Amino acid sequence: MSTLETFFQEVRARFPMLQRQMNGHPFIYLDSAATAQKPDIVIDTIATFYREQYGTVHRAVYATAAIASEMYELTRRKIASFIHASSENEIIFTRGTTAGINLAAHSFGKAFVTPGSEIMITEMEHHSNIVPWQMMAEERGAKLLVVPFFDNGELDMQWLKSHLSERTKMVACTHISNALGTINPVKEICDLAHSVGAKILIDGAQSTPHMPIDVQDMDADFFVFSGHKVIGPTGVGCLYGKRELLEQIPPFEGGGDMINTVTFEKTTYNTVPLKFEAGTPMIAEVIGLGSAIDFMQSLCLEKVHAWEQELLGILLPQMQEIPGVKVLGTSKHKAAIATFSVEGIHPLDLATLLDLRGIAIRTGHLCTQPIMRHYGLSAAARASLSFYNNKADIAAFIKALHEVIAILR
């Protein structure tokens, strides 16, 4: 057993769900691209907070409120370090990636997008990085441009370059496709966007849990991710924005905590980042996310990426050897995601029989209907890995896949 394998086998033991049985079989979880399992420390942190430390934040001077406020803001500092932001004041807590993109689209559009402006997205985006820009473009009279991708899952970078212009106000691009697994050249895309004066938002929902992130090095204007994909709680996420840009755009929501003064004549807003955090926040969720970030930092993201790539290198060749199986997305730079179709078999039937064997995969359009249409599909199946998976998971999955395909044929 390699050093990496031994290390992550010990890490796996920290995840209670992965010690369970499902339908009489060891539980094999292959749906981390949808949501990650939680380690004991995150579960315990949230329970302890509710039992022993609970209080509101930013609003009171009593002891537990002060403790809660410090823990809440400590998470902001942890995230700034985790993604290499220049300041914790560039970190805005949201309900997740979707909420972060909606905030950015609405507020940026209101400040900078006018009739005739262009917004560029890609054909491989999750619906969460399509619909908010469509809504904003319709509202502001802007045009939406869509960068196509090749059948191997790689973006047509020449198309992207040739369609950027002074009319381009925003480029919104996924770092890693949740369906194709493609790792996009986001640093290059950021440079190209900035060369025409455009801003850029990177959807980091799939990259943040699996590889080191440096928003300053990539020079992203906005970067978003979800807590539940980074082994943290649901209902919380993060929007990073460059400080000077956050100062220029208006708040998305109004209410408590995002204000400085309120009169019936006029309201003035709080400073960044509180200007964008209206209402009582997700206190326990943010504190739980802080614990998850600590856990991820302790693993070393370089090790995480290396182990997941090793597992992917075992999984893909075995899947591709199965007659009738077609893997979508074969980019040279690919994350540990294997979306596939099986000739003559509906993915829902496939997943149902796998579930009876204790194996959890995702099926459907994966919130990427344009990708499905690209390949002439309405739905597909997806097996997605994380650092807590191991070689035994892959062996069991491949064995079960052979079995259920034989049954369904």
- What residues are annotated to the active site? 367
Nearest to 269 by CA among 248, 285, 239, 284: 248
Alpha carbon distance 44, 291 (integer Å): 9
Q: Is 3 exposed, middle or buried (0-12, 13-18, 19+ CB in 10 A)?
A: exposed
How far apart are the C-alpha atoms of 175 and 205, rounded to whole Å?
8
DSSP secondary structure string for all residues of 331-392: -SSB-SEEEEEETTB-HHHHHHHHHTTTEE-EEE-TT-HHHHHHTT-S-EEEEE--TT--HH
Q: Which of 268, 300, 237 is nearest to 103 (CA)?
A: 237
Chain CA centroid to CA 32, Å: 11
Alpha carbon distance 153, 210 (integer Å): 19
Contacts of 352 (CB under 8 A, 6+ apart): none
Single-letter amino acid code for the residue at 42: V
SS3 content of the chain, % helix, strand, coil (to 5): 45, 20, 35
Residue 394's SS3 state is: helix
Residue 334, token pair as written in the block: 């690919």
Distance, in Å, from the CA atom of 161 to the CA atom of 193, rounded to the nearest integer, reads 9
Q: What is the DSSP secondary-structure string of 63-98?
A: HHHHHHHHHHHHHHHHHHHHHT-S-GGGEEEESSHH
Residue ranges in 278-325 assigned as alpha helix (H): 283-299, 301-320
Cβ-based burial of 151 (10 A; exposed 0-12, middle 13-18, buried ≥19): exposed
